[in-house]
Chain A
Amino acid sequence: MAIFSVYAVNKSGGFIYQYDNYVHRAEAEKTFRYPLDCVLKIHDEKVVVSFGQRDGIRVGNALLSINGLDVNGKFTADGKEIIEYLKDSTNYPLSILFGRARLSSNEKLMPASMFHSLFAIGSQLSPEVGSTGIEMLETDMFKRHCFQTLTGIKLIVLTDPRQSGIDELLRKIYEIYSDFALKNPFYSLAMPIRPPPQCRCWASPCS
């Protein structure tokens, strides 16, 4: 997937919309026998690997699911504490999925607001008057494009570094926002958007 995520931030820096599309490439599922040879610890309400990197399981990867059932923080799907569950030899053999920890909505809120502040600082630092602010942030793994409308809404798209045509995509997303969000009279401006499941206009691959 060339488009990883789409976010929308309102004028005051609050999150309006988020959509994540990335394939979790950094996931590894393995069947384990007692005793577990990875050392796990609790970090930020999640169970992460602190020692025992091998076979695609890396230090820092979070425990995502046990036997196919997604875990809930440091508890299993049926409410048992994971660390205690894994110490019990009668539960084995079991299959555990490790991977990069998925961010919760609250955790995404903080970087988005921080980006909003960076954006403001960026335009103030500009040597020329009338700068538009940060348009693109490039790393080796992804590019982060930002488009600020005249009304202060910021549309942010995370894409593959090789992906082109993002300007057009941002304009299209703006059109879609003005249609589906604004034309709904029950939607209050600057409030988070909860898309209905069938509204996946920008989920289809845009190339």
Chain B
Amino acid sequence: MSRQSNRTTDSKKMNAELFTLTYGALVTQLCKDYENDEEVNKQLDKMGYNIGVRLIEDFLARSSVGRCQDFRETADVIAKVAFKMYLGITPSVTNWSPAGDEFSLILESNPLVDFVELPDNHSSLVYSNLLCGVLRGALEMVQMAVEVKFSQDTLRGDNVTEIRMKFIKRMEENLPAGDE
């Protein structure tokens, strides 16, 4: 979709390495400031939340997907459209719970952690926790309360990165008029 832009650089052509470096600088500075992995994880989640509540509008404006009918459709849209649009990767959706309210996103690669190695003194740091916040914030703006966490992380020795998303409830009180 073409759009008028006053900026001289198209955002899609920005250097991915600069993005990785920026995120890395952010996490290391947070570690220096808070000196506590749990606190850093919480801060990353909060920051991700603030990004998510704004990113969702951008996503809806550009992708023109309608309201998802169920959680499975939501999972597909997140994996195939959203992740592709913003990170250039397409995670796979697996491990559905029997009730259909929990699933996993398996990421083969994660642009945030290119060239990153976690030192031993930061073993409980969830480096990409920002992503959890982004997903949580974005879905909250479309009236879905979810719980998002990393269940596997390549930085901590696992084979793949796995994000586990659990549907908590539909937020009826924030529903825009007319959406039932």
**1/0 contact trace for B47-69 toward A, CB 8 Å?**
00000011111101110101100
In the complex the two chains form, what is the Cα distance from A148 to B177 in whole Å?
Answer: 9
Assess A189 versus B54: contact at CB under 8 Å? Given A131-B178, A133-B178, A150-B176.
yes
List residues of A (109-128) whose CB comes within 8 Å of B's CBs.
116, 119-120, 122-124, 126
Q: A120-B178, A131-B178, A152-B174 are in contact. Are A175 and B61 (CB under 8 A)?
A: yes
Q: Interface size class for chain A?
A: 20 to 34
Residues in chain B within 8 A of chain A (CB atoms): 1, 3-4, 53-58, 60-62, 64, 66-67, 141-142, 174, 176-180
Q: Nearest 9 CB-CB pairs, A to B? A: A123-B178, A120-B177, A152-B176, A133-B178, A182-B54, A178-B57, A178-B58, A175-B61, A178-B61
**Looking at the complex, which one of B58, B61, B180 makes contact with A130 (CB distance below 8 Å)?**
B180
**Interchain CB contact under 8 A, B3 and A172:** yes
- How far, in angstroms, from A151 to B3 measured CA to CA in the complex? 22
Q: List 23 A-B contacts (CB under 8 A).
A: A11-B174, A119-B177, A120-B178, A122-B178, A126-B178, A131-B178, A132-B178, A133-B178, A149-B57, A149-B176, A150-B60, A150-B176, A151-B176, A152-B174, A152-B176, A174-B60, A175-B1, A175-B3, A178-B54, A178-B61, A182-B55, A182-B57, A183-B58
- With beta carbons under 8 angstroms apart, the residue of A119, A148, A150, A178 that contacts B142 is A150
Give Cα A141–Cα B6 distance, bound, in whole angstroms: 34
A-B contact count (CB 8 A): 72
Cβ–Cβ < 8 Å partners of A132 in chain B: 178
A119 partner residues in chain B, CB cutoff 8 A: 177-178
Given contacts A130-B180, A178-B62, 15 further A-B contacts (CB under 8 A): A120-B178, A126-B178, A131-B178, A132-B178, A148-B176, A148-B177, A150-B66, A150-B176, A151-B57, A151-B142, A172-B3, A175-B1, A179-B58, A183-B58, A201-B4
Which residue, of B54, B66, B141, B178, has the highest number of chain A Cβ atoms within 10 A? B178
Contact of B58 (CB < 8 Å), options: A120, A172, A182: A182
Q: Which residues of B contact A176 (CB under 8 A)?
A: 3
- A77 CB–B CB distance under 8 Å: no
In contact, A123 and B177 (Cβ under 8 angstroms) = yes
